[in-house]
A and B are shown apart, each in its own frame.
Chain A
Amino acid sequence: MSWQRFLRRARWDRERHDEIDSYVQIETDANIARGMPPEEASNAARRKFGNSTLIREEIYRMNTVGLLDTLSRNIRYSLRTLRHSPTFTAIAVLTLGIGIGANTAVFSVVNSVLLKPLSYPKSEELVALTQTAPGAAGLATFSSGLPLSGSMYFTYAEQNRSFQALGVWIAVTNNVTGVAEPEQVRTILVSDGTLPALGVQPMLGRWLGQADQKPGAPETVMLGYGYWQRRFGGDKSVIGRNILVDSRPREIVGVMPAGFRFADTDAELIVPVQLDRSHQILAGFGFQGIARLKPGVTIAQANADMSRMLPIWMDSWSNGPGTNSRVYETWRITPALRPLKQQVIGNVGSVLWVVMGTIGLVMLIACANVANLLLVRAEGRQQELTIRAALGAGWGRIVRELLLESVLLGLMGGVLGLGVAYAGLRFLVTLGPATLPRLAEISIDPRALGFTLAVSLLSGLLFGLIPALKYAGPKISLTLRSGGRTLSHSRERHQARNLLVIGQVAIALVLLVSSGLMIRTFQGLRTVEPGFTHAEQIQTMRIAIPASLIQEPERVARTQNDLVNKLAAIPRVTSVAFASGAPMETIVPNWDGIYKEGTEYGADEVPPMRLYKNVSPGFFGTAGTRLLAGRDYTWTDLQDRRPVVMISENLARELWGSSSAAVGKRVRTGSRSPWREVIGVVQDVHENGVHEPAPAIVYWPTAGDNIYQPGAMIVARTVTFAIRSERAGSESFLNQVRQAVWSVNSSLPLASVQTQQDIYNQSMARTSFTLVMLAIAGSMALVLGIIGIYGVLSYAVSQRRREIGIRLALGAQPGELKRMFVRHGLILASIGVAIGLIAASGLTRLMSSLLFGIKPLDPITYTAGALLLGIAAALASYLPARRASTIDPVEALKAE
């Protein structure tokens, strides 16, 4: 059978028809020639020919592709039956649509974030040069390992055998002035090798290269596409023009194309980092490394190559005369290259897979519900199916038709699901901006469409198979005997539906427990004291004073002091202070090795690295961080550059046993640096988010002696101002804040304007995102599960009306009847709950990395989940049970 013939068969049939006509005419002619009257001649010819339709049919059949023909007929038949029961169809399609839609939406996110490659050419070759340093205490908790130093960059770039290109970069912010309002922009500082490694050609002009990073070279800059559009309106003549970056002119040499992102940063400017090779020391670990592997080189080989270069690095550079280069051996620096994609995705992967899994479970429950509906329907159609089977329809044919119907339902659900997914994605994207990397790339692409189609077909087969196998079986003829009269309730008739309900309850419990665990996690996080109070009343913003704007540190300090005074004068401001970063604000952390007075350090020994921040007087009061011992900084401390320091409680405990013992003790940052006295100890602050333990922190003042330049002052130039006011966040307040800042210096832009509450929420974003997603999945599961129980019991009641009638007529008490049905529902629910508890105890292990403060086997959550389901099941059983007890026996017995 060829397709061509199949498609041409209509034309062939017409031709056959003509041929037969011509035969009849010829025969008629012959008959007339034999002397018959015309009328009779024609009739005789037709008689002789026989049944022309039959002949045409036979030929037509010869040209038929059997399966396709029956398929199109079956589809028409199925659509007709579905149209005849609109309520059933609507409920089934709606259930499936929501289920498939949720799955498609979440899959699109998983696909765009986790599965799709990064948008660089041959992105699988790109690696992030991460390295761990378990021996460098303090740095070990730093999530991205040990950053690279400038000397490491030179060593790796010059000596490696594994990379096509290698570079280092760092994300910073710069002030751009001279174009409208002063503006703080996201900048990536890049070394040579970084842009070639990424491999994205500039849209205009050229890349930054080796010449740009030489000290004294003309200062250059590349623009991101967005910034170019926003500030220059896409003017192609910008190449060669200058812009003022941190008050210094830089020549624009290139523009990157639209859609270019630097790892996960939408960089507005790309500026060459100026690294003077002759002035590099071993230390200065502050750069992120990126490289492109040579073809065929594996990550393991590249790691080995990096390990080989570490001794070369230690031998080639020094930290200055008299220092031991081999000191870094105690740090046990180990290269741990990661695919760049993994670096970009970060820790969101586990969240997304958990969400995908739960949504998949919801889909299973939805399928179970639809299967239940189909079972009810198949039961109602049993007569029809039986008669068709009796008339000779094969078993396979009936199964095929039932399956086709459910697959059609699945596909219709899929179409609706796509609509749901579009809406759902919008919701998802607004929900998780801070948590989801590659957010802008999320879309429903062909792969997601394929996924939707697959889910629709599979779910259609899944829920269709159950009724198909149950009702199209060979024992079908038995039902004819019962004559369609519903006799008493037979157990096996309801077995399939009971099993489905048990399954639904079990899955629903798993989802309830998972979302319960997230709720408990959220609660757990909320009870952690973050180290600040009334975060919604703290307005924060970053203000940077670059050396190119104000050179002398003293003037910077004075300007910052002026800013504090001006801001404090705004009505209803309680206090103002500043620090190198607000609590939990994700800025690049700084580390110092802290020497404790009274402890002997070996020549090669380096004290543990500690996180440090710079704070102004009054900062702890403004943030609400409690002072536990000693005193806060005063402005006099800063002016007189007193050798003082404040520390966090956990550091005080670690070094001296208690907060009060720490006051008056001394520390320093180098074996020859001056000692500094601990004047105060403050409460621990959960800098890395409440789910992480609070790190030990050293708080230096924002201004003090420059230990590298005796007599000179050093000052924190980029700081976050914190303003405590009940008006925080309001537009009128922010206007006054801007006016106050610009009245001090009109070239100062305000960046990262947010309240402390925003910062806190961002640190909780991953948990809240997971919580919301699981809560949605959990409530969908609960509702679907309850509908399942309700549906099964209602149907059982309607089927057993006659039996109930007899029972009532024989004197059964309505209360007894009610209990019987509720018991039925509760038995199903209990079995489901029991299975669900076992399943949950296994499955929730998968989400243990997302939990905080509780174990995956938290008894309260499990009990609460089981109770909630139990109560819901009791309610769902009670409604049909009550209906059963109100049946009028006379009516029920007359009805059939």
Chain B
Amino acid sequence: MPGRKSPLQSEMVQGTLDMLVLQTLALGPAHGHTIAHAIERGSEEVLQIEHGSLYPALHRLEDRGWIASFWGTSENNRKAKYYRLTPAGRKQLIAQTTRWEQVVRAIGRILKPVPE
């Protein structure tokens, strides 16, 4: 049922949301609403972004200097706070993605062992 919270999100590994936000912003600046939407749509609604996590995450990323913010105007002419990826954030994204893939491969090998 669309809109219902997927159990997945509560189990989301610590730091994953950060990575997803960074990945979303790699495509271009966006405001919070767009970011949430982009992730939900990109995951085919499997990942539901709770705003209670999104905004603190944005704050944390900005604090670490991985993203920067500016006030802009939304598609509907609303004032909105936009975020963009900083060079440091781009590096961080690459590092996190690499690490993530390593973990996924490792877990995958355990879950689907090579048949003997």
Contact = CB atoms under 8 A, between A and B. Distances in A.
Contacts of B56: 55, 58-59, 62
Interface residues of B, number: 17
Given A26-B33, A27-B33, A29-B76, A15 B81 contact: yes
A19 interface: yes
Contacts of A62: 56, 59-60, 63
B55 A20 contact: yes
B80 A22 contact: yes
Given A26-B76, A50-B50, A18 B33 contact: no
Name, among A18, A22, A23, A58, the residue most crowded by chain B CB atoms within 10 Å (CB to CB): A23
A29 B60 CA distance: 28
Contacts of A29: 76, 78
A50 B51 contact: yes
B34 to A, nearest CB: 8
A23 B32 contact: yes
Given A15-B81, A16-B59, A59-B59, A23 B33 contact: yes
Interface residues of A, number: 22
B109 interface: no
Contacts of B81: 15, 18-19, 22
A29 B37 CA distance: 14
A49 B51 contact: yes
Interface string B48-62: 001110011001100
A51 interface: yes
Contacts of A443: none
A155 interface: no
A466 to B, nearest CB: 44
B74 interface: yes
Contacts, number: 53
B79 interface: yes
Interface string B69-94: 00000101011110000000000000
B60 A19 contact: no
Interface in A1-43: 5, 15-16, 18-20, 22-23, 25-27, 29-30
B80 A26 contact: yes
A54 interface: yes
Given A16-B59, A62-B60, A22 B78 contact: yes
Contacts of B55: 16, 19-20, 55, 59
B78 A55 contact: no
Given A16-B59, A23-B32, A23-B33, A55 B51 contact: yes
A26 B76 CA distance: 7
Contacts of A54: 52
A260 B79 CA distance: 73
A22 B59 contact: no
Contacts of A59: 55-56, 59
Contacts of B50: 50
B82 to A, nearest CB: 10
Nearest to B81: A19
Interface in B16-49: 31-33
Contacts of A30: 33
A59 B31 CA distance: 18
Contacts of A58: 52, 56
Contacts of A49: 51
Given A23-B33, A50-B50, A59-B55, 5 more contacts: A22-B79, A22-B81, A30-B33, A50-B51, A50-B52
25 contacts: A15-B81, A19-B32, A19-B55, A20-B55, A22-B31, A22-B78, A22-B81, A23-B33, A26-B33, A26-B78, A29-B76, A29-B78, A30-B33, A48-B51, A49-B51, A50-B52, A51-B52, A54-B52, A55-B51, A58-B52, A58-B56, A59-B56, A59-B59, A62-B59, A62-B60
Interface of B: 31-33, 50-52, 55-56, 59-60, 63, 74, 76, 78-81
